[in-house]
Amino acid sequence: MSTDQRSKAEALRALHREGVLVLPNAWDAASAALVARAGARVVATTSGGVAWSQGRSDGHGLRRDEMVDQVRRIASVVDVPVTADVEGGYGPAPEDVAATVEAIVAAGAVGVNLEDSRAPGGPLFTPSEQADRLRAGRKAAERAGLPELVINARTDVYLFGIGEAAGRPAEVLARADAYAEAGADCLFVPGLIDLDALAELVKRAPLPISVMAWPGAPTVDEFRAAGVRRVSVGTGIAQAAYTLVEKAATEMLTTGGYTTLDGALGFGEINGLVAG
Say yes or no to pLDDT of 206 above 90. yes
What are the tens digits of pLDDT across the range 157-204? 999 999 999 999 999 999 999 999 999 999 999 999 999 999 999 999
**SS3 label, residue 89:** coil
Average pLDDT, the chain: 97
Cβ 122 vs Cβ 114: under 8 Å: no
DSSP class of residue 193 equals: -
pLDDT tier for residue 276 given thresholds of 50, 70 and 90: low
Burial class (CB in 10 A: 0-12, 13-18, 19+), 262: exposed
Say yes or no to pLDDT of 113 above 80. yes
Predicted confidence at residue 127, as pLDDT, reads 98
What are the tens digits of pLDDT across the range 63-103? 999 999 999 999 999 999 999 999 999 999 999 999 999 99
Predicted confidence at residue 60, as pLDDT, reads 84
Predicted confidence at residue 86, as pLDDT, reads 98
What are the tens digits of pLDDT across the range 114-123? 999 999 999 9
Give the Cβ contact number of residue 17 at 10 Å.
9
For the chain, give me the number of helices (H) and strands (E)? Answer: 11, 8
All domains of the chain, ordered by start, with CATH?
3-274 (3.20.20.60)
Average pLDDT over residues 206-212: 98
What are the tens digits of pLDDT across the range 131-166? 999 999 999 999 999 999 999 999 999 999 999 999
- Residues whose CB is less than 8 angstroms from the CB of residue 276 and which lie 6 or more positions away in sequence, other chains included: 76
Runs of H (alpha helix) within 42-83: 47-53, 64-77
What are the tens digits of pLDDT across the range 18-62? 999 999 999 999 999 999 999 999 999 999 999 999 999 998 889
Predicted confidence at residue 59, as pLDDT, reads 87
Say yes or no to pLDDT of 213 above 70. yes
